[in-house]
Amino acid sequence: MSKSKVHPHLYAGREVVGERTFESRNSSDTSDVLGVFYEATKEQVQGAARAARAAAKAWAKTPAPVRGQVIGLVGQAIEREKEPLARLITREMGKTLKEARGDVQEAIDTCYFFQSEGRRLYGQTVPSEMPRKDLMTYRRPLGVVGIVTAGNFPVAVPSWKIIPALVTGNTIVWKPSEDVPACSYAFAKILLGAGLPAGVFNVVFGGGKDAAGQYVIELMDDGLVDKLAFTGSSAVGRYVGEVAGRNLQHPTLELGGKNPLVVMRDADLDNAVQGAVFSAFATGGQRCTSAGNVIVDAPVYDEFKKRYLAAVEKIRIGDPLKTEDVLYGPFINERFFRRWEQQYAWGEADGATLLYGKGRITDDSRPSGFVGDPNAGFYGWPTVWEGVKPGMRLFQEEIFGPTINLVKVDGIEEAITTANAVAYGLSSSIYTNNREWAYAFKDEIQAGMTSINNTTNGAEAHMPFGGVKASGNGTRESGIWVLDSYTYWHGVNDDISGKLQLAQMDTAYVEPQAAVSVAELF
């Protein structure tokens, strides 16, 4: 990507320029500018929404199987560009190539799943209680959808919203994260090049608060969007909910998490250690589904801690483009690092015990597994705390970095109670071979997703993704469940009787007969 070119907004089938710009830099080498992007004004965001509105009727009337076929072409286009797109993700966002390829593959899987859903946007025919009358239901598109996404999954998470919204007949205004504009621009160009009509898919770039992201949210007040889909913090999610509420809209909110991973006394500890390391430190902990608290049953606590710390000390960290076997790379940018760094003050104030970790990795302070130049990006030590209890800030707040808390409990009941003692409810995991304990956990955990003997991470395109409590508002991404987020049900009564028929009032119900007493028969 040229360092000198300023990349435009993409809406109404045109490239739209502006005045103010911002840069995107390589997370592993901050001296490497990936591209320059225009910052959208409020008027430009509104212009993109008007372009989407102008295209909405024709796209909604395009037969759903044809829309699905276009989505299939998008999937093929992404598949062709999988490797360069994955490398761009690694370069800009900092996750490993293995994870970046998975990020792109999730979008491919989403396209192929929803391609077929274009032939399965089923309604129903329902028997009427009146003669010569048919009842039918149809899924209808909502209209214009505003989408605001985060930077940690630059391709997968936007695809969860964009693809089902398109296949159900909606048009889109997307404001991707300002942390990954290069990945987002490349992804948008792939979509637009696959055959979407002008105005159906529109992209504006810029920041969040008091910038393009806020302007997209305000499109609800402007009457220019019919639905808002958001991935980000719970605090901003509440603001989105407030704006949507006064406009009688139901937003899609995919928010944060403080996800519990429980290790019971009968668990396979080698498997549990491996899963807990990945859950905590994959993507440098920059996942909404990263484990926040590892809750360990007392009889195996000491042995688990010993094995876990040994595994953490062996973690390889570095530039993932230069060294493919690292577990994680740098923070997305300095802003994410500074937020994560605050945890050390929290832990000290709460009286927690720091078992491992020293803040930023530098020339003078680096773990044995670090490779490369620590000054080229913002790298964090893998950090492990113990003595963490439910009332502590470390226990409650999403840290969004390579940090984990070890929490000792005694038995399955205390494990479940402790796991539920956070405001969030996104993902969860338990390691046990006791089916009663596994059943109790999946039955009582307050979370939208649960794994048994697997990590807190991971999503598949045909399963629902989302949380409860502060992690979301009950909406779901992916699978057939997401269709309800981008359609409304239209009920149709078709009466060919040629006369007024009033349900309930004119229904020819059978009159009840006199009761039969079996006792009187014999």
pLDDT of residue 512: 87
Residue type, 21: T
pLDDT of residue 4: 61
- Tell me if 506 is assigned to some domain: no
Residue that has been written with the tokens 């909404």 in this structure: 288
436 among known catalytic residues:
no
Strand partners, 175: 148
Q: What is the pLDDT of residues 247-271, one digit of tens each?
A: 999 999 999 999 999 999 999 999 9
- Residuewise pLDDT in 10s, the chain (522 residues): 444 689 999 999 999 999 999 999 999 999 999 999 999 999 999 999 999 999 999 999 999 999 999 999 999 999 999 999 999 999 999 999 999 999 999 999 999 999 999 999 999 999 999 999 999 999 999 999 999 999 999 999 999 999 999 999 999 999 999 999 999 999 999 999 999 999 999 999 999 999 999 999 999 999 999 999 999 999 999 999 999 999 999 999 999 999 999 999 999 999 999 999 999 999 999 999 999 999 999 999 999 999 999 999 999 999 999 998 999 999 999 999 999 999 999 999 999 999 999 999 999 999 999 999 999 999 999 999 999 999 999 999 999 999 999 999 999 999 999 999 999 999 999 999 999 999 999 999 999 999 999 999 988 999 999 999 999 999 999 999 999 999 999 999 999 999 999 999 999 999 888 888 888 888
**Tokens for 384?**
């492990």
> Of the listed 254, 386, 398, 477, which one is catalytic?
254
Instruction: Note whether 226 and 278 are same-domain residues.
Output: no
- The CA-based angle 295-299-300, given to 5 degrees, is 60
Q: What is the pLDDT of residues 17-70, one digit of tens each?
A: 999 999 999 999 999 999 999 999 999 999 999 999 999 999 999 999 999 999
Instruction: Note whether 454 and 483 are same-domain residues.
Output: no
- Tell me if 230 is assigned to some domain: yes
- Tell me if 28 is assigned to some domain: no
Q: How many other CB atoms are found less than 10 A from the CB of residue 444? A: 13
Round to whole Å and give the CA distance between 454 and 210.
Answer: 40
Round to whole Å and give the CA distance between 172 and 161.
Answer: 10
Round to whole Å and give the CA distance between 186 and 26.
Answer: 15
CATH number, domain of 321, equals: 3.40.309.10
- Tell me if 502 is assigned to some domain: no
CA quadruple 55, 60, 61, 63: dihedral sign: positive
Number of domains in the chain: 2
- Tell me if 377 is assigned to some domain: yes
Instruction: Note whether 324 and 447 are same-domain residues.
Output: yes
Instruction: Note whether 231 and 267 are same-domain residues.
Output: no
Q: What is the pTM of this model?
A: 0.96
Instruction: Note whether 294 and 430 are same-domain residues.
Output: yes
Instruction: Note whether 179 and 280 are same-domain residues.
Output: no
Which residue range forms the structural domain that includes residue 278?
259-460
Instruction: Note whether 279 and 368 are same-domain residues.
Output: yes
Instruction: Note whether 437 and 288 are same-domain residues.
Output: yes
Number of H helices, E strands in the chain: 16, 24
**Tokens for 262?**
């429980």
pLDDT of residue 5: 85
Secondary structure E strands in 232-290? 252-254, 259-263
Instruction: Note whether 100 and 131 are same-domain residues.
Output: yes
**Tokens for 480?**
């057939």
Instruction: Note whether 159 and 286 are same-domain residues.
Output: no
Instruction: Note whether 158 and 193 are same-domain residues.
Output: yes
Contact predicate 162/66, CB 8 Å: no
pLDDT of residue 516: 86
- Tell me if 326 is assigned to some domain: yes
Instruction: Note whether 242 and 264 are same-domain residues.
Output: no
Contact predicate 196/169, CB 8 Å: no
CA dihedral 419, 423, 425, 429 (to 10 degrees): -20
> Of the listed 92, 106, 288, 477, which one is catalytic?
288
- Tell me if 518 is assigned to some domain: no
CATH number, domain of 92, equals: 3.40.605.10
- Tell me if 498 is assigned to some domain: no
Secondary structure E strands in 18-157? 21-26, 29-38, 124-127, 133-141, 144-148
Residue 495, judged by CB atoms within 10 A of its CB (0-12, 13-18, 19+), counts as middle
254 among known catalytic residues:
yes
SS (H, E, C) 428-467: CEEECCCHHHHHHHHHHCCCCCCEECCCCCCCCCCCCECC
Distance of CA 372 to the CA centre of its chain: 31
